Amino acid sequence: MVDITTELSGIKLTNPVIPASGTFGFGQEYWDLYDLDILGSISFKGTTVEERFGNELPRIAECSQGMINSVGLQNPGMDTVIKEEIPKLAKHFHKPLVANISGFSIPEYVKLAEAMSEVPEVGILEVNVSCPNVHGGGMAFGTSCENVSEVTREIKKVSKKPVYIKLSPNVTDIVSIAKAAEDAGADGLSLINTLLGMRIDIKRRQPVIHNKMGGFSGPAIFPVAVRMVYQVSKAVKVPVIGMGGISGAQDVIEMMMAGASAVEIGAANLVDPMACKKIIEDLPHVMEELNIDKLSDIIGCVE
């Protein structure tokens, strides 16, 4: 019998598979399909302080090996998530959750971190630093070492839960950003967020989505994600959650060999709502084929 367990900052996971924020909502669309407790954890819908409708429609564009989205952090806001969405999800999922939080200023991040730290069901804070800093000229927090350091330090001052910084790939040197987060006290890192992409409707001669550009995800970005996870995991000592285009159990193995301690499954859930279940069920078989007895033994095994 193979061992598919892993660990993130002292939190034991029965397996490394976590649905990624933004692709699993608050679980409601999935809990009638299968037992959510088979999942390692769930990174629920990215939450902001105030309710957000999101960006103007259309905000999804299909690609041959993925999709582009510009949803714009649509969510019911922090208070509703804590008082309504998490309790509902907790009836169907009985393990520590990953709370993905997004702010447009340092005080917003701090407010979210303080509130989510008090939620018993939350095990890890996953901090999305791809939001534009409204007090810093609109540049995303995650594109600057200084901004990432500041966000991390301020959140760590108030958080009672492990803090994982979710890194943007839209930078020239992701390793320096990762090290800035670690040096500022991050307990772990999540990567990669979506790449920046665009589609054009050649009949209308207009961008497909209203915002012109959006986040590109899906199988096409998997090699980029593997490369960045490998580079970052070799440069830091904190655990890494790897994501970006994972669509099968073989991808999970590859991402963990690159250095990830756990993985998040994103766009695959939108193609097949049973994707996470199938990956978890396939994982032991793939491990047996590759003579892997214990999944945690392969983390970062590639030199």
Catalytic residues: 131
Tokens of 170: 């839209």
Residue pair 47/74 in contact by the 8 Å Cβ criterion: no
Give CA–CA dist 149/174, Å, rounded. 14
Residue pair 240/188 in contact by the 8 Å Cβ criterion: yes
Give CA–CA dist 192/217, Å, rounded. 10
Could you list the beta-strand ranges (E) of the chain: 6-8, 11-13, 17-19, 43-47, 60-63, 66-69, 97-102, 122-128, 163-166, 188-191, 195-198, 200-201, 206-207, 213-217, 240-243, 262-265
Query: What ranges in the chain are assigned the alpha helix state H?
Result: 78-80, 86-90, 106-117, 145-158, 174-183, 222-235, 249-258, 267-271, 275-289
Please count the other Cβ atoms lying within 10 Å of the Cβ belonging to residue 90: 15
Contacting residues for 138 by C-beta, under 8 A, at least 6 apart: 132
